[in-house]
A and B are shown apart, each in its own frame.
Chain A
Amino acid sequence: MGERLLSIEGLRVGFDTDDGRVQSVRGVDLTIDRGEVVAVVGESGSGKSVTALAVLGLHPKQRTVIEGCIRWHDEDLLAASEDRLREVRGGEIAMVFQDPLTALNPVHTVGRQIIEMVRSHRGGSKQAARDRAIEMLGLVGIPQPTRRVDMYPHEFSGGMRQRAMIAMALSCEPQLVIADEPTTALDVTVQAQVLELLVSSTEQLGSAVLLITHDLGVVAGLADRVSVMYAGRVVERGTIDEVFAAPSHPYTQGLLRSLPRVDADGSDELIPIGGQPPSMLAPPSGCAFHPRCGFAAAESGCADRLPELDADTHGVACWRRAEVAARNAEVGT
């Protein structure tokens, strides 16, 4: 493992609303080392995007309460000044957004937007920044980058737009790229390509990737490590092999069972996870997953006590881990 880039410890993010505090993130630990690809998986409202935005200090100051620690190298980003944050954003940590159609400004050409970003961080002449933009567009596999650089976002297809967005994010050689559901807005046919491109181009530049997604399937071949989030907490984390070979939290298992597999013989039924995601205004007591969990049992205290991750390597936050593992061995999954 390389040098530690980012470490998030005990992060809690809450938003004050008229109905009370919505505690979106309730104690998240996450680390990313240099050059690593780390995936955060969870359904809508699990707090994964909120975590990412907190890293860059992008939550509005009013009505947002952030606790815990976000350490970037040796620096506490939560205590950083707005000027310092601006340097970090894009320069050291860049972000790729979900929908490139709305994340690119329609009134400026793609090139102008990359140039703007390069010059915001590195200064230099317009021509140099333009050359850099063309180079980056070429790097992400956009044909005819010298012409494409002067085109508007609406003249790009969805996949091309996201490539341009990636080119923009990578143009200042950030050490970390946060990709928030980078393929959700794309056609299924181009999703895989864009993801592969994201990972290969960051590899080329030596950047680490924090990949945020609700789709466990997309992370399988790409990520080194994965953290599964539920109701604002990490419920399982480990290397990709550990989590896929032996999913040990009932929620992770549920996610995997609800995923269509190309390599299955077709007899496997997709099993949805029953129930509704919890309201973060008033999350369930104890383990937030217990109302939807097939393993929940009163004697284990699932409804009363909040489980913590039980190990540093393949950690699972579940009071019934032993029982879940026993069942796994029985069924042979």
Chain B
Amino acid sequence: MTIDSMSLGTDLPDADATLAQAGVGRSLAQDAWRRFRRNRLAMVGLGIVVFLILVAVIGPFLVQDPTSYSKRVFLEPPTNQHPFGVDRRGGDVLANVVHGIRLSLFIGLLATILETVIGVVVGAVAGWFGRWTDAFIMRFVDIMLGIPYILLAYAFITVLGKGVAAVVLTLALTAWLQTARTVRAGFLQARELEYVEAARALGVPSRRIMWRHILPNVFQPVVVLIAVGVGSAILAEAALSFLGVGVQFPDPSLGRMIAEFSSDFPRAPYLLVFPGAAIMLSVLGFLLVGDGLRDALDVKDV
């Protein structure tokens, strides 16, 4: 009613109040944040993520050196001095878990950033140029996606060697496929949108159209993919390290700890709880945040 009378050109006296009430001028990000905040699970996820980041940043200053080993105690259950217990080398499990979380987050974030850059660029190129460029790139992506993930990762890491850098590269090189597909789909969709056509009809240069009108169109699914991607990267890193091809001793890794502790399971079952919980918490946190973002940003096709 109010809107109708405004469009008739009559300036209402209480127009200011009406506009303020309608939440006018609120940006997409503000809207999304409001929706995100109302989502309890998403906020739990955000809490977990913030907690993990604090652990990764501050934690190392509070715990012992993970590479100093006790000469006296091995495979000891949690005590006041060693709240998470002691492993078979005499290392403090708490210190290892904290440093493991730090390394996991570092690897997860770095791999995801790399993966997103590759995926967005490749997807944008395929979606923008179309035709045979698109056909060539997307068939390649399809073939890669057809290979079981762990096999693909194994192949990469065999070539790249072991260690942190190799793990980051392997994760990035195997994870960009989904991002590229999503970005390309978004580009194809956006190219047909009327406002892209309108921008063209009003003489906006193509490069600007690509950055300002098409890229924002894929921004939301990419944000969701980043959040989910960090979670999956952490899980994949743990898997690779568990299999012995990922992060190598003495670098602290949750996956490697689980592999080690599972052979000590009969004698010290309690040890497995902590690195396991840390992995579960990390993955859960990022997945919940991703899910919350998906709902808050109203992304349908990721």
Decide if A and B are genuine partners: yes
Assembled-state Cα–Cα distance A86/B208 (Å)? 12
B15 to chain A, nearest CB (A): 7
In the complex, are the beta carbons of A90 and B11 less than 8 A apart?
no
In the bound complex, residues from chain B placing their C-beta under 8 Å from that of A99 are: 194
What B residues does A144 contact at CB under 8 A? Answer: 11, 15, 19
Q: Mark A75-110, 1 if CB is under 8 A from B, else 0.
A: 000000000001111110011010100111111100
| Among B24, B28, B194, B200, contact of A151 (Cβ-Cβ < 8 Å) | B24
Closest chain B residue, CB of each to CB of A94: B202
In the bound complex, what is the Cα–Cα distance between A179 and B208 (angstroms)? 24
Shortest beta-carbon distance from B217 to chain A in Å: 8
Main secondary structure of the interface of B (DSSP, over half): helix
CA distance A159 to B9 in the complex (A): 10
**In the complex, chain B residues 215-253 whose Cβ is within 8 Å of any chain A Cβ:** 216-217
* Of the residues A88, A107, A150, A160, contact of B203 by C-beta under 8 Å: A88
Tell me which of B9, B199, B201 has the highest count of chain A C-beta atoms within 10 A of its own C-beta: B201
Contacts of B208 in A (CB 8 A): 116, 120
A106 to B216, CA, bound (A): 10
Q: What are the interface flags for B1-33 relative to A under an 8 Å C-beta threshold, 1 for contact and 0 otherwise?
A: 001101111010001000100101101100000
Q: Tell me how far the C-beta of B110 lies from the nearest C-beta in chain A, rounded to whole angstroms.
A: 29
Q: State whether A158 and B7 are in contact (beta carbons under 8 Å apart), knowing that A89-B202, A89-B203, A144-B15 are contacts in the complex.
A: yes
User: How many chain B residues have a CB neighbour from A under 8 Å?
Assistant: 31
Given the complex of chains A and B, what is the CA–CA distance between A116 and B197 in angstroms? 15
Residue from the list B4, B11, B201 in contact with A157, Cβ < 8 A: B4
A193 contacts chain B at the CB level, 8 A cutoff: yes
User: Contacts A143-B6, A190-B7 hold; do A105 and B201 have CB atoms under 8 A apart?
Assistant: no
- Say how far A148's CB is from chain B's closest CB, in angstroms: 9
Contact for B198 among A103, A121, A141, A159, CB less than 8 A = A103
B193 located at the interface, meaning its Cβ lies under 8 Å from any Cβ of chain A in the complex: yes
Cα(A56)–Cα(B8), bound, Å = 32
Q: Is the CB of B205 within 8 A of A89?
A: no
Contacts A151-B24, A157-B4, A190-B7 given: A117-B204 contact, CB under 8 Å? yes
In the bound complex, how far is the Cα of B26 from the Cα of A206, in angstroms? 37
B213 close to A (CB within 8 Å): yes
B267 within 8 A of A: no
Inter-chain contact A105/B8, CB cutoff 8 Å: no
Confirm or deny: B34 has a beta carbon within 8 angstroms of a beta carbon on chain A: no
| Contact flags A24-42 to B (C-beta < 8 A → 1, else 0) | 0000000000000000000
Please, how many angstroms separate the alpha-carbon atoms of A182 and B31 in the complex?
Answer: 31
A87, B203: Cβ atoms closer than 8 Å: yes
Within the complex, the shortest CB–CB distance from A332 to chain B, in Å, comes to: 40
Q: Quick check: is B136 within 8 A (CB to CB) of the other chain?
A: no
Can you list, as one digit per residue, whether each of A113-125 has a CB less than 8 Å from chain B (1) or not (0)? 1001100110000
A193 and B7 CA atoms in complex are apart in Å by 9
Residue of B nearest to A144 (CB): B15
Q: Is B195 an interface residue (CB 8 A)?
A: yes
Verify B203–A117 contact, CB threshold 8 A: yes
If A155-B24, A157-B4 touch, does A116 touch B203 (CB 8 Å cutoff)?
no
Q: Are A90 and B25 in contact (CB under 8 A)?
A: no
- Contact residues in B for A104 (Cβ distance below 8 Å): 195, 198
Inter-chain contacts of A91 with B (CB < 8 A)? 203
In the complex, which residue of chain A has the Cβ closest to the Cβ of B220?
A: A107
* B212 at interface by CB-CB < 8 Å: yes
Return chain A residues, CB-CB under 8 Å to B201.
Answer: 56, 58, 89-90, 94-95, 97
Complex CA–CA separation, A107 to B208 (angstroms): 15
A168 CA to B4 CA, complexed, in Å: 21
Residues of chain B within 8 A of A117, CB atoms compared: 199, 202-204
Are B203 and A193 in contact, CB atoms less than 8 angstroms apart?
A: no
How far apart are B166's CB and chain A's nearest CB, in angstroms?
A: 39
A159 to B6, CA, bound (A): 9
Query: Least Cβ distance of A189 to chain B in Å?
Result: 8
A90 to B6, CA, bound (A): 28
How many angstroms between the C-alpha atoms of A30 and B4 in the bound complex? Answer: 37
| Residues in A neighbouring B198, C-beta threshold 8 A | 95, 97, 103-104
**Quick one: which of A202-234 are within 8 Å of B by CB?**
none
Most buried by A among B22, B198, B199: B198
Q: Are A89 and B19 in contact (CB under 8 A)?
A: no
Q: A56-B201, A86-B203, A90-B204 are in contact. Are A143 and B194 (CB under 8 A)?
A: no
> Which chain B residues border A89 with CB–CB below 8 Å?
200-203
Contact B202 A155 (CB under 8 A): no
Inter-subunit contact B204/A155 (CB<8 Å) = no
Q: Which residues from chain B contact A193 at a C-beta distance below 8 Å? A: 7-9
What are 20 sample pairs from A and B whose C-beta atoms fall under 8 A apart?
A56-B201, A58-B201, A88-B203, A89-B203, A94-B201, A97-B198, A99-B194, A103-B195, A103-B198, A107-B217, A113-B199, A116-B208, A117-B204, A120-B204, A120-B205, A143-B15, A144-B11, A147-B24, A152-B27, A160-B7
Given contacts A108-B216, A168-B202, 16 further A-B contacts (CB under 8 A): A94-B202, A97-B201, A102-B193, A102-B194, A104-B195, A105-B212, A116-B204, A120-B205, A143-B9, A144-B19, A147-B25, A152-B25, A155-B22, A160-B7, A163-B7, A193-B7
Chain B residues with CB under 8 Å of chain A are: 3-4, 6-9, 11, 15, 19, 22, 24-25, 27-28, 193-195, 197-205, 208, 212-213, 216-217
